[in-house]
Amino acid sequence: MYKFSDSIDLLIDKFPIFKKTYEEDIDYYKDIPYVFYNDTLGQYVLDRVSARDEDELIVIFDYIEDMFLHGDEYVINMVGVVIVEDRFFYDMYCKEELTEYTKYLSQFFGELTMKSFKECTGVF
């Protein structure tokens, strides 16, 4: 089981590109994984969507699904809030792009990611 206290290390292990961001501001991020996930993975998802980088989106959503499947309750909540609610619902809904992104991204969702998305947005 993935522990919330290990969530930053897990993310950096999977996506080493975030290590520099963490190291540059470790005092800020070390006790607030939600913010680190939002600032790094959350933005990365949007960047990869904009680039239509399907290979990397597969990797990202496999990671997200794995976190939903194996995370403790705090990890599950963090991934649900940062990725599903903040990035897909709030950001895209406010930009009136939810339908376009939903259709595109749903192909990458695992079962638990889809469940979380449906619960949050009512879409599908």
Q: What is the mean pLDDT of residues 67-93?
A: 82
Tokens for 5, please give them: 């206290």
Question: Residue 44: beta bridge partners?
Answer: none
Beta-carbon contacts of 108 under 8 Å, excluding residues fewer than 6 positions away, are 54, 57, 58, 60, 61
Domain boundaries of the chain, sorted by first residue: 4-121
Lowest mean pLDDT among 12-16, 75-79, 98-102, 103-107: 98-102
The pLDDT, as a whole number, for residue 56 is 97
The pLDDT, as a whole number, for residue 95 is 55
CA-closest candidate to residue 123, choices 79, 114, 37: 114
- The pTM of this model reads 0.88
pLDDT at 91 over 90: no
pLDDT at 29 over 90: yes
pLDDT at 61 over 80: yes
Task: Give 89's pLDDT tier (boundaries 50, 70, 90).
Answer: low
CA distance 84 to 68: 11
Answer whether 15's CB lies under 8 Å from 40's CB.
Answer: yes
